[in-house]
Structure 1
């Protein structure tokens, strides 16, 4: 299975990206929520997400000031079985919840990781209101993700520009 071909992707979508780093995460427990993460400029990243084992609900939130969809989210179920991928562009926060145990997520990014530019929004921000499909036991979170700020408490970092 070919999972990335720059030329084919550009021809099909008109989007030409240069990925510089691959990342992978393992979530042992069902209901593990990761995110909502993003890198601020000048280290902002496009992300291409896929699942190697298990299933996730993958979420992207528009955080571009002035965008008609600012603060709204979209989601897609990604699994090793359906082999779907999701492109999360710069200006969107990204997160997911695992729907199966021992889920492995892989993602390509268009800029190198920068600890200083590593930011995020709280997964359960009521203004965004993502409909997370969680087990009765609730979300499994890292300390870092549990302490992230709400979208309304983040300075504007990305600006929407209408296409010409």
Structure 2
């Protein structure tokens, strides 16, 4: 059995205070979100929940009180919110463009099916008696070649 080393309560308190200050300033080192919650305070301080609530509950309550007085969003959280707004707009734009492309594709599929039916009917002799080819000036590529 290994012997436990004694805990340094003052070092733990210093770590909690420093973590609280970093979170409140919006400059966390270990927190992923930078939110002003006890969970993020624990993550930022590197201390276990049972230790913090067992011996340093007053610091947790102090942090919560300071966090409530803050009316601003931490810089990291604000940048994530801004990015989220931009991504939502891009998604809306992409969804709209996709809907338009699907409409165009549906029209083209119907046109291809109709032309295919006419081609089969013409090959079997059931179509119009005479098929007239388009003149060069009516062809889209010909108009580009001859201005």
Q: Normalising by the residue count of structure 1, what TM-score does the alignment of the two structures yield? A: 0.21
Q: Which structure ranks higher in relative contact order (CA pairs < 8 Å, sequence separation ≥ 6)?
A: 1
Q: Looking at CA atoms only, which structure, 1 or 2, has the larger radius of gyration?
A: 2
